[in-house]
Amino acid sequence: MDRLGALQLEYLTARGRAADWHRGVLGGALFDRVPQGSRTASGDLGFPLAQVSMPVLGEECEVLELWRIGDEVRAGAQGRVRYTCTADVLFGSVSLREEDVVPAKDSAQHGRLYEATRQAYRDIFATLAGQGHRHLLRVWNYIPDINVETHGLERYRQFNSARQEALMASGRAVAGNVPAASALGAATGSPLVIYFLASRLAPALIENPRQVSAYHYPAEYGPRSPAFSRAAVLGKNGAATLFISGTASIVGHRTLHSGDPLEQTRETLRNIEALLEEAGRTALGGKLPLEALAYKVYVRDPRDLPVIRAQLTEAIGTGASVLYLKADICRRDLAVEIEAVGSRGAEPGA
């Protein structure tokens, strides 16, 4: 994984897009407010581009999240998954409309989201097995109407149950050895969209000493716990990338500062600092500073954006890359969720 340092994240707006913007891209995602597609063509790009119906907060109508790589890539498909990969890393995406999914007999009582999640993850695990990139590193899940209750259960909790069942059916762990991840609410009527990074090399998985691991949450948060780690580090020989999962104002397993977006942002940043400390101590050989990360910030109510943005800017300065999106968050009492990525470059001669 000596070339991991070549994997770079970029947020690209329409105004900053050159004619050759797609060159050197391993994969990416497009965020915009159009439920039925996108203004950016994706059929002939040579890499998967997940299309997420989620409004960008600010002046831009759409933003591309691009993962660039210095190596040559190979493209393919497995079931519903489109992917590109190098010898070391793989990027894939899958999109399923619930109306196109017929629930299996054993899941009919759970509804179409449950079955869509099972099918999506089944195809993801088949892709990883087929390409030899067994280690799922980072997953982004975008779920329409995430906080709505159907079939007697909130849809986020339905998703967690189906994800855990898919993990077990594929012989994978549901605690401990699970990827960094996030799950956010996309627009009503949009598909379930999942995109992910995987690797041949096992990552170092990081937990937050201030929080109960999500996979050990008590039953009050649903019949099956969320199966993700708080962060993951991939790399060696001085070159490594840190992936921080969606992080919010949670200490232990409880939400703090309900109704106060300012204090929720501050608590979220304390949790990110704790993850930076832990990752620096155990896997990175030193702590990354807050200002060295690239951030994706999910805001439930756009009216809270000025307060959230001001607090984040105070903490990280104005030079960091930040993308703000309007999204429903997995708990109704959370106003903001933040994820981040940071890299430590290779030492000379590594």
For the segment 187-217, what is each residue's pLDDT rounded down to a tens digit? 999 999 999 999 999 999 999 999 999 999 9
- From the list 146, 221, 315, the residue with the least C-alpha distance to 338 is 315
The CATH number corresponding to 4-344 among 1.10.10.10, 3.30.1330.40, 3.30.930.10, 3.40.50.12160 equals 3.30.1330.40
CA pair distance 134, 142, nearest whole angstrom: 22
- Give the range among 10-14, 95-99, 193-197, 217-221 with minimum mean pLDDT: 10-14
Residue extents of the structural domains in the chain: 4-344
278, 337, 339, 347: the active-site residue: 337
Confidence of residue 347 (pLDDT cuts 50, 70, 90): very low
Distance of CA 218 to the CA centre of its chain: 23
Helix (H) or strand (E) holding 130: helix 112-131
Supply φ then ψ for residue 47, to 5 degrees.
Answer: -150, 155
Considering the chain, what percentage of its residues have pLDDT values greater than 70?
92
**What is the b/e burial string over 44-82, where b = at least 16 CB atoms within 10 angstroms of the residue's CB?**
ebebbbbbbbbbbbeebebbbbbbbbeeebeeeebebbb
Q: Average pLDDT for residues 256-284, to the nearest whole number?
A: 97
Determine whether 99 is an active site residue: no
Is the model more confident about 18 or about 175?
Answer: 175
Token pair belonging to 141: 């899940």
DSSP count for the chain of H helices, then E strands: 4, 20
Q: Does residue 56 carry a pLDDT above 60?
A: yes
**DSSP-assigned letters across all residues of 258-292:** TT-HHHHHHHHHHHHHHHHHHHIIIIISSPPPGGG
pTM score over 0.85: yes
Half-sphere exposure in the Cβ direction for 263 (13 Å, CA): 9
Q: How many residues does the chain have?
A: 350
CA pair distance 220, 280, nearest whole angstrom: 33
Q: Does residue 38 carry a pLDDT above 50?
A: no
